[in-house]
């Protein structure tokens, strides 16, 4: 063989070697490489055959410090965990499921994230493309039970990847859609043979810039708002669930102009209920002081900030709010279209809108707007209602439990409140004595979709996102029986989560709702369950609380510092009527 021929053969061999090395990456590895690139820590899910290559890729990635799987006990729990993680970190979260029942189980959690605008990447498996339509096990593609179609209706973006070459494009599309223009879940359904296929590529996108949220502000509208603020005599600000990142600037302005402020239920966690200008929660289970503030005819300007004005956040589309005194400020067009009656819409990143208002004030040489001194300070919310049972040893009242629990929790605690009466009690009565500000807020509730059990998985995801803070999940016995198995994930992951179960042997919200509406008393009873025994069977420490005295004598410090979950089985006074009037009104049961 001549030297030239030898070189050519060697070159060919080397090229073949490089090609085979490049091809050693599976499509699933490319997907995981992108998760690594954007700093994903966990993939919440339940494994199964059709999604196995993703787990293989995660195992390879975890060995080099990449994201690792957290195995939930039910796929809805996985989506709730991803939701909790995203709320705590403000980052995109990831959940996954296998095809068939895995995907359908996931739906409730994904739908909840959709309705609550949580950025989430959702990955489901499918049988091989070559087998689709042949009755393959757990096939849920277009040819049968179509979980892709089901997930499509609760995702900002949803598609099946039908060729490995599509994966990168569709993944980037999904990741970007999960953030903008409105955050929410984006779904990729990936057949197992596509996940396994060899790819001759490494990530070609650098997402650090592409995924940065836009920072636009409608300057003309901000100027107009500033003019209106200067002319207004009395202002009320309604702070909504989208204000987490902007809360400092909003409160600075509120204080400068001495406006009264109220919050939607999902924004209570951003503020201190002891703030002197705070007038309470406006909306579901809220306070009469908040509706009074809104109803004050001397108020000539209402700033509604960062909320979609749904049933629970607008107090059932209350006309004292929805009128031409309203200025709606939001980055999200879908929210702004809910207020056609507004005198002004200010589109833009909320933080920047308030920064510009503050700058305008500063430039004008105004520390405060002149008429401020004349503005009445609204009365402070009363948070000292005792609601302690008159008789020693009588069942503990949920109102009392809420107040005491909030006051005794460390200042950096996060509270996740489940659907059911817990939501009403917490929105109305939970109050921290002191709290440390955080973007996600100290109290988190789910608006709109409100599935039972959300807070259980959500608490696990929150605790994984931030191991330095205690997490409290307030839930009902019905929700616990529906989703309580996720507590074992908190145990496996050694997470400081205190599960407070309002045990009333009933679907309490249903029971009280029927009573208040005069409906048939049916379908609400639950058997008595001793949740301390259930916790013991899981290896989780627990306490039974029957009365206020027992609660006072409980040493909560251990629960708030222990590296693992604790269960408080609280046998509450079942007869206390929750503040849920608004719900009945909008359901039409009560006029």
Ligand X SMILES: Cc1ncc(C[n+]2csc(CCOP(=O)(O)OP(=O)(O)O)c2C)c(N)n1
Among positions 105, 141, 399, 421, the unique one binding ligand X when judged by CB under 6 A: 421
For 364, other C-beta atoms within 10 Å of its C-beta total 11
CB of 482 to ligand X, least distance (A): 6
Stretch that binds ligand X, among 117-125, 350-358, 475-483, 553-561 (CB under 6 A): 475-483
Q: Should residue 479 be labelled a site residue for ligand X when binding is judged by CB under 6 A?
A: yes
CB of 545 to ligand X, least distance (A): 15
In whole angstroms, give the CA distance from residue 257 to residue 358. Answer: 11
CB of 77 to ligand X, least distance (A): 12
CB of 524 to ligand X, least distance (A): 8
CB of 400 to ligand X, least distance (A): 15
Q: Should residue 229 be labelled a site residue for ligand X when binding is judged by CB under 6 A?
A: no
CB of 572 to ligand X, least distance (A): 8
Nearest in space to 497 (alpha carbons), one of 453, 450, 464, 534: 464
Contact between 567 and 486 (Cβ < 8 Å): no
Stretch that binds ligand X, among 355-363, 406-414, 476-484, 492-500 (CB under 6 A): 476-484
Question: Which CA distances in Å does 281 have to 48, 103, 190, 273?
Answer: 44, 37, 44, 9
DSSP strands (E only) in 47-149: 68-71, 93-97, 120-126
Among positions 303, 405, 452, 472, the unique one binding ligand X when judged by CB under 6 A: 452
- Token readout for 398 is 């949920």
Stretch that binds ligand X, among 28-36, 42-50, 323-331, 418-426 (CB under 6 A): 418-426
Half-sphere exposure of 397 (CA within 13 A, CB side): 17
CB of 23 to ligand X, least distance (A): 46
DSSP strands (E only) in 282-408: 301-305, 326-330, 344-347
For ligand X, which residue has the nearest CB? 476
User: Which residues ranging from 498 to 537 are in contact with ligand X (CB under 6 A)?
Assistant: 502, 504, 506-510
Task: Work out the angle at residue 65's Cα, subtended by the Cα atoms of residues 62 and 71, and round it to the nearest 5 degrees.
Answer: 35
Residue closer to ligand X, measured from CB, 69 or 579: 579
Q: Should residue 422 be labelled a site residue for ligand X when binding is judged by CB under 6 A?
A: yes
In whole angstroms, give the CA distance from residue 406 to residue 384. Answer: 12
CB of 530 to ligand X, least distance (A): 15
Site string for ligand X, 247-266 (x = CB under 6 A): --------------------
Is the bond into 181 cis (omega within 30 degrees of 0)?
yes
CB of 569 to ligand X, least distance (A): 13
Residue closer to ligand X, measured from CB, 328 or 583: 583
Contact between 291 and 267 (Cβ < 8 Å): no
Stretch that binds ligand X, among 17-25, 279-287, 426-434, 447-455 (CB under 6 A): 447-455
Residue closer to ligand X, measured from CB, 99 or 421: 421
Q: Should residue 478 be labelled a site residue for ligand X when binding is judged by CB under 6 A?
A: yes
Nearest in space to 448 (alpha carbons), one of 259, 586, 292: 586
Residue closer to ligand X, measured from CB, 83 or 477: 477
In whole angstroms, give the CA distance from residue 587 to residue 514. Answer: 11
Stretch that binds ligand X, among 58-66, 157-165, 445-453, 558-566 (CB under 6 A): 445-453
Q: Should residue 141 be labelled a site residue for ligand X when binding is judged by CB under 6 A?
A: no
Among positions 102, 283, 451, 457, the unique one binding ligand X when judged by CB under 6 A: 451
Stretch that binds ligand X, among 227-235, 357-365, 449-457, 538-546 (CB under 6 A): 449-457
Residue closer to ligand X, measured from CB, 452 or 460: 452
In whole angstroms, give the CA distance from residue 302 to residue 411. Answer: 31
- Token readout for 434 is 């002191």
What 3-state DSSP class applies to 452? coil
In whole angstroms, give the CA distance from residue 527 to residue 529. Answer: 6
Residue closer to ligand X, measured from CB, 303 or 426: 426
Residue closer to ligand X, measured from CB, 368 or 525: 525
CB of 561 to ligand X, least distance (A): 27
Residue closer to ligand X, measured from CB, 222 or 500: 500
Q: Should residue 426 be labelled a site residue for ligand X when binding is judged by CB under 6 A?
A: no
Residue closer to ligand X, measured from CB, 66 or 395: 395
Torsion angles phi and psi, residue 491, rounded to 5: -70, -50
Among positions 69, 164, 184, 476, the unique one binding ligand X when judged by CB under 6 A: 476
In whole angstroms, give the CA distance from residue 559 to residue 562. Answer: 5
Residue closer to ligand X, measured from CB, 244 or 406: 406
CB of 387 to ligand X, least distance (A): 16
Residue closer to ligand X, measured from CB, 95 or 452: 452
CB of 38 to ligand X, least distance (A): 31
Strand bridging mode 542-545 / 471-476? unpaired
Torsion angles phi and psi, residue 316, rounded to 5: 65, 45
Torsion angles phi and psi, residue 493, rounded to 5: -90, 0
In whole angstroms, give the CA distance from residue 304 to residue 55. Answer: 45
Residue closer to ligand X, measured from CB, 408 or 574: 574
Enumerate residues 6+ apart whose C-beta is below 8 A from 38: 92, 175, 207, 208, 211
- The count of chain residues that interact with ligand X, using the rule CB under 6 A, is 18
User: Which residues ranging from 303 to 362 are in contact with ligand X (CB under 6 A)?
Assistant: none
Count of helices and strands (H, E) across the chain: 24, 20
Q: Should residue 477 be labelled a site residue for ligand X when binding is judged by CB under 6 A?
A: yes
Contact between 432 and 273 (Cβ < 8 Å): yes
Contact between 67 and 61 (Cβ < 8 Å): yes
Q: Tokens 């779904």 appear where?
A: 187
Among positions 93, 339, 419, 485, the unique one binding ligand X when judged by CB under 6 A: 419
Enumerate residues 6+ apart whose C-beta is below 8 A from 63: none
What 3-state DSSP class applies to 328? strand
Residues that bind ligand X (CB under 6 A): 419-422, 450-452, 476-479, 502, 504, 506-510
């Amino acid at each position: 063989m001549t030297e030239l021929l030898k070189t050519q053969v060697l070159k060919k061999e080397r090229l073949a070697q490089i090609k085979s090395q490049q091809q050693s990456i599976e499509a699933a590895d490319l997907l995981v490489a992108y998760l690594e690139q954007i700093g994903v820590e966990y993939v919440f899910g339940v494994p199964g055959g059709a999604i196995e290559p993703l787990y293989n890729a995660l195992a390879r990635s975890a060995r080099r410090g990449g994201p690792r799987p957290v195995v939930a006990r039910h796929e809805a729990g996985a989506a709730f965990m991803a939701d909790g993680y995203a709320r705590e970190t403000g980052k995109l979260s990831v959940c996954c499921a296998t095809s068939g029942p895995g995907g359908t189980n996931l739906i409730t959690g994904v739908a909840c994230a959709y309705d609550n605008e949580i950025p989430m990447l959702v990955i489901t498996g499918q049988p091989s493309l070559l087998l689709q339509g042949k009755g393959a096990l757990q096939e849920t593609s277009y040819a049968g039970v179509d979980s892709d179609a089901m997930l499509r209706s609760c995702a900002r973006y949803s598609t099946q990847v039908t060729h490995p070459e599509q994966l990168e494009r569709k993944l980037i599309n999904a990741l970007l859609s999960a953030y903008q223009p409105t955050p929410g879940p984006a779904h990729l359904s990936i057949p197992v043979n596509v996940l396994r296929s060899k790819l001759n590529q490494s990530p070609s996108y650098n997402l650090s810039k592409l995924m940065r949220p836009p920072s636009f502000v409608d300057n003309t509208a901000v100027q107009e708002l500033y003019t209106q603020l200067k002319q207004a005599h009395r202002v009320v600000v309604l702070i909504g669930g989208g204000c987490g990142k902007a809360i400092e600037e909003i409160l600075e302005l509120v204080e400068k102009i001495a406006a009264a402020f109220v919050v939607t239920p999902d924004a209570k966690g951003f503020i201190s209920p002891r703030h002197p200008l705070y007038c309470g929660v406006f909306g579901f289970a809220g306070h009469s002081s908040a509706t009074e503030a809104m109803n004050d005819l001397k108020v000539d300007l209402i700033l509604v900030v960062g909320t979609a004005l749904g049933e629970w956040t607008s107090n059932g589309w209350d006309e004292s709010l929805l009128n031409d005194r309203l200025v709606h400020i939001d980055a999200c067009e879908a929210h702004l279209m809910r207020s056609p009656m507004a005198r002004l819409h200010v589109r833009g990143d909320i933080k920047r809108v308030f920064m510009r208002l503050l700058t305008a004030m500063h430039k004008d040489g105004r520390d405060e707007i002149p008429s401020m001194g004349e503005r009445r300070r609204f009365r402070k919310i009363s948070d000292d209602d005792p609601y302690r049972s008159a008789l020693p040893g009588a069942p503990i009242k949920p109102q009392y439990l809420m107040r005491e629990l909030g006051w005794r929790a460390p200042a950096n605690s996060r509270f996740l409140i489940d659907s059911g009466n817990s939501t009403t009690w917490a929105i109305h009565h939970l109050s921290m004595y002191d709290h440390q500000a955080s973007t996600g807020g100290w109290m988190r509730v789910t608006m709109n979709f409100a599935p039972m059990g959300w807070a259980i998985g959500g608490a696990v995801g929150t605790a994984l996102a931030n191991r330095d803070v205690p997490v409290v999940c307030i839930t009902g016995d019905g929700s616990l029986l529906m989703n309580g198995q996720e507590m074992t994930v908190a145990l496996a992951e050694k997470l400081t989560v205190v599960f407070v179960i309002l045990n009333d042997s009933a679907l309490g919200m249903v029971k009280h709702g029927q009573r208040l509406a005069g409906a048939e008393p049916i379908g609400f009873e639950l058997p008595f369950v001793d949740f301390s025994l259930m916790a013991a069977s899981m290896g989780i420490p627990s306490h039974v609380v029957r009365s206020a005295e027992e609660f006072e004598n409980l040493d909560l410090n251990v629960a708030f510092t222990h590296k693992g979950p604790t269960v408080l089985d609280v046998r509450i006074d079942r007869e206390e009527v929750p503040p849920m009037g608004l719900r009945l009104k909008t359901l039409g049961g009560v006029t």
